[in-house]
Amino acid sequence: MIIIILIPLFIIALIIKYLKRRKKVSIEGKHVVVTGGSSGIGKSVAILAAKKGAHVTIIARNIDKLSEAQEELKKYRVSEDQIINKVSVDVANYEDVENNLCEIEETVGPIFMLINCAGMAICGRVEDFTEQDIKTLIEVNFLGTLYPIKAIVPKFKQRREGIIVLTGSQVSLVGMYGYSVYSSSKFALRGLAESLIMEVKPYNISVTLALPPDTNTPGFENENKTKPKETHLLSNTAGLYNPEDVAKKLLDDSLMGHFFSFIGLESFILTTLCVGMSPFGSFVEVLVQCVALGPLRLIGAFYIMYFDKIIKKCFLEPVKKRTVIINSIVLFS
């Protein structure tokens, strides 16, 4: 019954949304900065920006990886005049971030778009984390997003234009076994994005919070090494996306000025369910959410029961069959 009501409603909303879709902003000839641009989702976004004719600066720490990515990006330029620049900075160091952003504005040109993709995940049960792991996750994922934003916002406000992207995760909206610290650092980005958009909207600056699902990147491969068995089983319910698809959706949504960027039906359900007091793009969107929220809460409840069942099953397994975490390395016995 619920599905019968929801499907036509969803189709009508999609048609209206398509007809009333906002014009995409062009980044041709504009300066786009991508933190975390040497790998994974960030590198895919940087490639797409280069294909669209933007001057691109990629930021990361490892200079070899940066140089390799810079060469790869150059192949996608649509004009010889396009600058593909790299900067080695730790985004968790405010002074370095501010100085380098000032410098690249002078060498490459005024920054038009800041895409924060630098981030990392370490999984584990809350008691397994070292103090250093906790600090690293908060510093890289939260401060490493806040600092570039803090440094660039005054310039964007002065110029009365700019686009800011924050890369959260699906666990920016929902907690998940094994993600206690990572999820906290990504939840913080939602608070940041929702507050920030109120501050910058009058200045013609848009804010997008990207919520990627599991994406096949070097970072994801690394994350898998620390995932407890329960987390593996819970995440397997959603599937794995290509960084190219996630990057395309992220870039399209941010250039259209959407607040949330998500991909896939599961993410649509999750984002609608967790919409709360977040900004909206159109009244049609709000109407769909009003109708969908009740039934989706019911679907969500079934998911929670299913997750609880998986966790309980693992809990009841003999201890030696469960995941053992030794110095952040997961061994399945």
Ligand X SMILES: NC(=O)c1ccc[n+]([C@@H]2O[C@H](COP(=O)([O-])OP(=O)(O)OC[C@H]3O[C@@H](n4cnc5c(N)ncnc54)[C@H](OP(=O)(O)O)[C@@H]3O)[C@@H](O)[C@H]2O)c1
Of 169-208, which residues contact ligand X (CB under 6 A)? 169
> C-alpha dihedral over 300, 304, 305, 306, to 10 degrees?
100
Binds ligand X by CB under 6 A, chosen from 27, 30, 32, 40: 40
| Distances, alpha carbon 196 to alpha carbons 154, 155, 252, in Å | 12, 15, 20
Retrieve residue 14's tokens. 């999609």
Least CB distance to ligand X at residue 102 (A): 17
DSSP 8-state secondary structure symbol assigned to residue 206: E
**Binding window for ligand X (CB under 6 A); candidates: 47-55, 84-92, 315-323, 324-332:** 84-92
43 neighbors 17 (Cβ within 8 angstroms): no
Give the type of residue at 80: E
49 binds ligand X (CB under 6 A): no
User: Residues in contact with ligand X, total (CB under 6 A)?
Assistant: 31
| Distances, alpha carbon 195 to alpha carbons 4, 174, 235, in Å | 37, 19, 29
Binds ligand X by CB under 6 A, chosen from 47, 91, 152, 197: 91
**Binding window for ligand X (CB under 6 A); candidates: 40-48, 124-132, 248-256, 281-289:** 40-48
| Residue whose C-alpha is closest to residue 245's, from 223, 266, 262, 265 | 262
Least CB distance to ligand X at residue 131 (A): 18
Binds ligand X by CB under 6 A, chosen from 68, 161, 214, 244: 214
Assign residue 55 a region (left: φ > 0; alpha: ψ between -120 and 50; beta: otherwise): beta
Give CA–CA dist 118/91, Å, rounded.
Answer: 8
Least CB distance to ligand X at residue 145 (A): 8
262 binds ligand X (CB under 6 A): no
Of 105-164, which residues contact ligand X (CB under 6 A)? 117-121, 140, 144
Beta bridge partners of 162: 205
Q: Which is nearer to ligand X, 17 or 61 (CB)?
A: 61
92 binds ligand X (CB under 6 A): yes
The C-alpha angle 242, 269, 309, rounded to 5 degrees, equals 90
Give CA–CA dist 287/156, Å, rounded.
Answer: 33
Binds ligand X by CB under 6 A, chosen from 51, 61, 135, 322: 61
**Binding window for ligand X (CB under 6 A); candidates: 6-14, 35-43, 71-79, 107-115:** 35-43
**Binding window for ligand X (CB under 6 A); candidates: 71-79, 192-200, 211-219, 320-328:** 211-219
Q: Which residues bind ligand X (CB under 6 A)?
A: 35-36, 38-42, 59-62, 65, 90-92, 117-121, 140, 144, 167, 169, 212, 214-215, 217-220
